Amino acid sequence: MFQLQERVAVVTGAGSGIGRAIALLFARQGAQVAVLDVNEPEAQRCAAEIKAAGGQALPVILDVADAESVDRAFEQVAQHLQRVDVLVNSAGIAHVGNLGNTSEADFDRLYRVNVKGTFLCSRAALERMLPNGSGVILNLASIASLIGIEDRFAYSMTKGAVLSMTRSVALDYMGKIRCNCLCPARVHTPFVDQFVAKNYPGREAEMMAKLSAYQPIGRMGTPEEVAAFALYLCSDEASFVTGGAFPIDGGVLVK
């Protein structure tokens, strides 16, 4: 079960965190993985790790918010791997702030990466999926697209847009392209460690405990747990699943 043999999977933000975990797992399950990231060394490292384990990977550098960069990246994937069967839109950035203290520059930056980036990559993948008559797009939304979270105004806006795009794509391409989104609560990634160290020096342990306690289950999720859910949604076992928004939240929604 959950095999991706003879599939080409494109994963954005695959250099680190959740995207990296998805890329590694998909490769273990037989996919040829295009490792897309704005950070070239991280993309190269992830691809090298896949190859060292016996998998197939193509590192590709792109800025998801730049249309020309996205077109070049997907053309590179098509030239080297011939097709696109699966797209995982994992690239994204975060922001802490409410309506009153979110700057226009921050709002635009979040929109460009999280919303426009998902749009551009999905459109590029769609163009290469439709001639084959099938494909899977999986978007990384957030629990913030389903409930309100304090001081996440701009971030929640972008993830709400990702959820809406997911449902629109699923409806417009029913029977051809399956499109779902995952809605994680807090996931323990290197980004979280860096964020806490930068913003709460000397209070790292206190803040990590607070972030963990937000989930009723008592901890943050792991990138590997999100990757396992992503594998199911992108596999043939989920062929009856489209247009869904799936929480992976440690019990947040049942509080």
pLDDT digits (tens, 9 = 90+) for 89-129: 999 999 989 999 999 999 999 999 999 999 999 999 999 99
Structure tokens at 31: 């996919």
Q: Which DSSP string corresponds to 111-171?
A: IIIIIIHHHHHHHHHHHHHGGGT-EEEEEE--GGGTS--TTBHHHHHHHHHHHHHHHHHHH
Structure tokens at 27: 């490769």
153 shares a domain with 99 = yes
161 shares a domain with 201 = no
Instruction: Say what percent of the chain tops pLDDT 70.
Output: 100
13 shares a domain with 34 = yes
55 shares a domain with 171 = yes
Task: Look at residue 254 and tell me if it is in a domain.
Answer: no
DSSP annotation of 98 reads -
Task: Look at residue 41 and tell me if it is in a domain.
Answer: yes
169 shares a domain with 195 = no
Give residue 212's domain range: 187-220
135 shares a domain with 211 = no
Is the confidence at residue 150, as pLDDT, over 90?
yes
Which member of 111, 155, 200, 214 is catalytic? Answer: 155
Number of domains in the chain: 2
- What are the beta bridge partners of residue 56? 32
Is the confidence at residue 191, as pLDDT, over 90?
no
155 is catalytic: yes
Instruction: Answer positive or negative: Cα dihedral of 241, 164, 24, 185.
Output: negative
Q: Which CATH number does the domain housing residue 114 bear?
A: 3.40.50.720
Task: Look at residue 3 and tell me if it is in a domain.
Answer: no
pTM: 0.96
Tens of pLDDT, residues 53-69 = 999 999 999 999 999 99
> CA-to-CA distance for 57 and 38, rounded, in angstroms?
16
146 shares a domain with 216 = no
